[in-house]
């Protein structure tokens, strides 16, 4: 059966109005997504402006002595390498934990929606239902950029933070069915998230018995969702509507659930990485 595809150039907190069309939204969910998107955009603006200031204020101007410049640059490289290595080992440990326990997949809610189409001055109404939904490949967490590190003298805490992501994030429904004008096609659908970014922050207090805590982990964005729907037949006109429903479900329910699931995976593995090897 031919599969109809649709690519949505959208972030999980869409600003073009798409999420308002889905029946899975309420005021709190919309506010949560807007706050998440606003936080991401503000962080990007601040980072861009800060990078611009740093590019104009070179290390040569900040540190005149060439030996000090060399020492500083070498120190930055070493700190970054240590932070990167720690996060890489943590994510590798999480990967093994997820695979061994078969946690690569989680279930997602059913989509149950109505639609209408006007044909020859008559508006026909139909129903669409997608069941047995899933999100897959949760073992594919990886670091996507250099990791930063900061020390809080007041608390004695060391904080490691930066961007990670899922190299392969897919979702789909094993079964869907529709009813429209006495026609009842059925099939399956799948979607692939083109890009995603997850913010990670781990707090470490170095002592004889180190204290390690997950300070923050949340999906910053997920975008470029490509959807494939099989079995539509004469209902090909539904593909864009189905895509909107799937993205609406992703926005309103799946993002928050993924945050919670990934949090639990990482928290479970924090103590399995010897922080003394990196920060002792």
Q: Give residue-wise pLDDT tens across range 220-273.
A: 988 888 889 888 888 888 888 888 889 888 888 899 999 999 999 999 999 999
- pTM as predicted: 0.75
In whole angstroms, what is the distance from residue 27 CA to residue 37 CA? 15
Q: Give residue-wise pLDDT tens across range 129-156.
A: 999 999 999 999 999 999 998 988 888 8
- Given pLDDT bands bounded at 50, 70 and 90, which one contains residue 13? very low
Residue (of 223, 245, 259) closest to 13 by Cα position: 223
**What are the residues whose beta carbons fall under 8 Å from the beta carbon of 267, sequence distance 6 or more?**
214
pLDDT at position 30 is: 47
How is residue 58 annotated by DSSP?
-
Domain ranges of the chain: 3-279
pLDDT at position 218 is: 94
Which is higher by pLDDT, 15 or 244?
244
Q: Which residues pair with 6 in a beta bridge?
A: 227
Does domain 3-279 fall under CATH 3.15.10.50? My reply is: yes
In whole angstroms, what is the distance from residue 108 CA to residue 229 CA? 17
pLDDT at position 60 is: 54
């Amino acid at each position: 059966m031919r599969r109809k595809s649709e690519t949505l150039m959208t972030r999980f907190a869409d600003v073009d109005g798409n999420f308002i069309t889905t029946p899975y939204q309420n005021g709190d969910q919309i506010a949560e997504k807007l706050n998440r998107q606003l936080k991401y955009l503000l962080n990007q603006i601040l980072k861009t402006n800060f990078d611009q200031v740093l590019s104009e204020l070179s290390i040569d101007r900040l540190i005149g002595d060439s030996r000090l410049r060399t020492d500083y640059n070498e120190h930055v490289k070493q700190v970054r390498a240590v932070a990167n290595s720690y996060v890489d080992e943590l994510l590798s440990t999480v990967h093994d934990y997820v695979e061994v326990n078969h946690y690569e997949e989680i279930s997602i809610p059913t989509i149950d929606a109505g639609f209408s189409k006007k044909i020859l001055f008559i508006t026909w109404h139909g129903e669409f239902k997608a069941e047995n939904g899933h999100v897959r490949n949760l073992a594919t967490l990886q670091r996507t950029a250099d990791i930063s590190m900061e020390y809080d003298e007041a608390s004695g805490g060391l904080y490691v933070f930066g961007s990670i992501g899922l190299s392969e994030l897919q979702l789909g429904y094993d079964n869907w069915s529709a009813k429209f004008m006495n026609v009842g096609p059925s099939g399956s659908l799948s979607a692939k998230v083109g890009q995603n970014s997850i913010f990670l922050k781990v707090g470490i207090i170095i002592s004889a018995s180190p204290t390690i805590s997950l300070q923050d982990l949340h999906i910053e964005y997920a975008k470029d969702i490509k959807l494939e729907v099989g079995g539509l037949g004469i209902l090909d006109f539904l593909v864009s509507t189905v895509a909107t429903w799937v993205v609406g479900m992703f926005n309103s329910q799946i993002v928050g659930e993924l945050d919670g699931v990934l949090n639990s995976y990482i928290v479970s593995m924090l103590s399995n990485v010897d922080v003394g090897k990196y920060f002792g």
